[in-house]
């Protein structure tokens, strides 16, 4: 009896010391395994006098059950400790700042271009995109700018050979449209243009949008109404327009269009150099010679044209003073236009 009690205490003490599931099986083998100390007692049954054998067997089995219960208890404790440990290690720190996704946005030039296109397509204009590399004929001659005309100086550009060049304006879009389409015509021709120019307000590559209307009886008055509507959409509904006489070989009469300054509303400030007005585009009634050269009967039809620089409108609208900031791709600058 004493030996049973001793063995039970010994097993209990060793089981209590077990620190991990890895070692529990070793200790189990030592006591209740095939060659374990308690199992050995059962094997020794044959040496016990027959009349005591049953009682002895019951004692051994009881002991085995008790020790097994110690193991089971220990196992439960160890498993609980191990999963607590695992949960702790795998825990996610929800107080850490989240990694934010960088979402792209439209470039300010595209934002403004889309607004301009929306404004005019809302008035029935269609889009026509011409080639960026074009011939002398489309860039100049068909627009009533013959060779050696002084108006070419203003637009001297990048020649590929004597006859082929990077277009200096989107006006060739007018000619290509008139050659291919019968009036009524109402088109907008956006795209890149190139000039040998480079300073705070000029870039060797920039963007223009050309507009052309050809129909019976259209006049300067329609041009005024059209552009008036356009500036109200692009700037704000109180913006006013003013036509100043100007000169372009492809329009007659020609005008330069000013709008009331979007910063001071016309009172005079640094943006409008104190005048209250800002020039935004060139326009006019299409020169009859230009219509005729492209096969349109100028006795039946008249035309209106305008050409604007997207950079210029963008700079005025957002108060940008250096055109180069539009091409440097500084993310901090660009993000200002895409605040969510
Ligand atoms: N093509 C001119 C330029 O690049 C802009 C322009 C002015 C276009 C008057 C027009 C117009 O259609 O009528 O400076």
Instruction: Please determine, for residue 277, whether its predicted confidence score (pLDDT) is greater than 70.
Output: yes
pLDDT tens digits for 267-276? 999 888 899 9
Q: If you take atom 6 of ligand 1, which residue's CA is the nearest one?
A: 307
* Distance, C-alpha 90 to centroid of its chain: 35
Angle at 261 between CA 258 and CA 263, to 5 degrees: 160
Q: How far is the CA of 264 from the centre of ligand 1 (A)?
A: 27
What pLDDT, on a 0 to 100 scale, did the predictor assign at position 262? 83
Average pLDDT over residues 229-250: 94
Query: Which pLDDT does position 307 carry in this prediction?
Result: 98
- Which DSSP string do the residues of 227-270 spell out, in sequence order? HHHHHHHHS-TT--EEEEEEEETTEEEEEEEEEE-TTTTTS--T
Q: Answer yes or no: is pLDDT of 12 > 70.
A: yes
pLDDT of residue 154: 60
**CA 106 / ligand 1 centre spacing (Å):** 27
* Cα distances (angstroms) measured from residue 315 to each of 46, 75, 198, 321, 324: 107, 75, 16, 7, 11
Residues whose beta carbon lies within 6 Å of some atom of ligand 1: 169, 171, 210, 248, 251, 282-284, 305-307
| HSE-CB of 224 using CA atoms within 13 angstroms | 10
Determine the average pLDDT of the residues in 21-34.
89
Please report the pLDDT score of residue 94 as a whole number.
Answer: 85
Cis peptide before 281 (omega within 30 of 0): no
Place of tokens 């913006």: 239
The protein residue whose alpha carbon is closest to atom 3 in ligand 1 is: 169
Q: Which residues contact 234 (CB under 8 A, 6 or more apart)?
A: 112, 115, 116, 119, 313, 317
Look at residue 102 and tell me whether its pLDDT is greater than 90. no
Please determine, for residue 155, whether its predicted confidence score (pLDDT) is greater than 70. no
Which atom number of ligand 1 is nearest to the Cα of residue 308?
Answer: 5
Q: Bigger pLDDT: 53 or 171?
A: 171
The SS3 call for residue 306 is strand
Nearest alpha carbon to residue 122 among 214, 216, 186, 174: 186
Question: For residue 210, which atom of ligand 1 is closest to its CA?
Answer: 12
User: Hunting for tokens 């009634």 — which residue is that?
Assistant: 285
For residue 156, report the distance from its CA to the centre of ligand 1, in Å: 15
CA of 93 to the centre of ligand 1 (A): 61
Pick the atom of ligand 1 nearest to 169's CA. Answer: 4
Q: What is the pLDDT of residue 149?
A: 81
Q: What is the reported pLDDT for 246? A: 97
User: What value does the mean pLDDT of the chain take?
Assistant: 92
Per-residue pLDDT tens for 167-198?
Answer: 999 999 999 999 999 999 999 999 999 999 88
Instruction: Read off the DSSP letter of residue 94.
Output: T
Contact yes or no for 159/140 (Cβ under 8 A): no
- Looking at per-residue pLDDT, the higher value among 236 and 220 belongs to 220
| pLDDT at residue 147 greater than cutoff 70 | yes
pLDDT band at 224 (very low <50, low <70, confident <90, very high): very high
Contacts with 221 (C-beta within 8 Å, 6 or more apart), sequence order: none
Q: How far is the CA of 282 from the centre of ligand 1 (A)?
A: 5
Calculate what percentage of the chain has a pLDDT beyond 90.
64
Task: Answer whether residue 148 shows pLDDT above 90.
Answer: no
């Amino acid at each position: 009896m004493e030996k049973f009690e001793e063995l039970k205490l010994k097993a209990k003490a060793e089981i209590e010391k077990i620190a991990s599931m890895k070692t529990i099986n070793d200790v189990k083998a030592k006591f209740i395994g095939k060659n374990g100390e308690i199992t050995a007692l059962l094997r020794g049954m044959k040496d016990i006098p027959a009349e005591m054998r049953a009682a002895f067997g019951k004692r051994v089995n009881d002991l085995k059950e008790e020790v097994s219960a110690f193991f089971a208890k220990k196992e439960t404790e160890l498993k609980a400790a191990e999963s607590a440990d695992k949960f702790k290690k795998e825990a996610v720190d929800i107080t850490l700042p989240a990694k934010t996704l960088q979402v792209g946005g439209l470039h300010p030039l595209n934002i403004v271009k889309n607004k301009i296109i929306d404004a005019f397509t809302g008035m029935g204009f269609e889009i026509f995109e011409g080639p960026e590399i074009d011939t002398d004929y489309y860039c100049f001659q068909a627009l009533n700018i013959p060779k050696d005309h002084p108006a070419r100086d203003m637009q001297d550009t990048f020649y590929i050979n004597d006859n082929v060049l990077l277009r200096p304006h989107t006006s060739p879009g007018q000619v290509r449209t008139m050659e291919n389409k019968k009036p009524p015509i109402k088109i907008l021709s956006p795209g890149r243009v190139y000039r040998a120019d480079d300073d705070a307000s000029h870039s060797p590559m920039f963007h223009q949008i050309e507009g052309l209307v050809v129909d019976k009886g259209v006049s300067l008055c329609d041009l005024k109404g059209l552009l008036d509507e356009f500036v109200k959409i692009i700037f704000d509904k109180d913006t006013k327009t003013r036509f100043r006489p100007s000169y372009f070989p492809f329009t007659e009469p020609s005008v330069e269009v000013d709008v009331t300054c979007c910063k001071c509303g016309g009172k005079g400030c640094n943006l409008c150099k104190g005048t209250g007005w800002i020039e935004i585009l060139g326009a006019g009634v299409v020169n009859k010679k230009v219509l005729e050269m492209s096969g349109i009967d100028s006795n039946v039809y008249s035309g209106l044209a305008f050409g604007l620089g997207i950079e210029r409108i963008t700079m005025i609208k957002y108060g940008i003073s250096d055109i180069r900031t539009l091409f440097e791709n500084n993310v901090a600058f660009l993000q200002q236009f895409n605040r969510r």
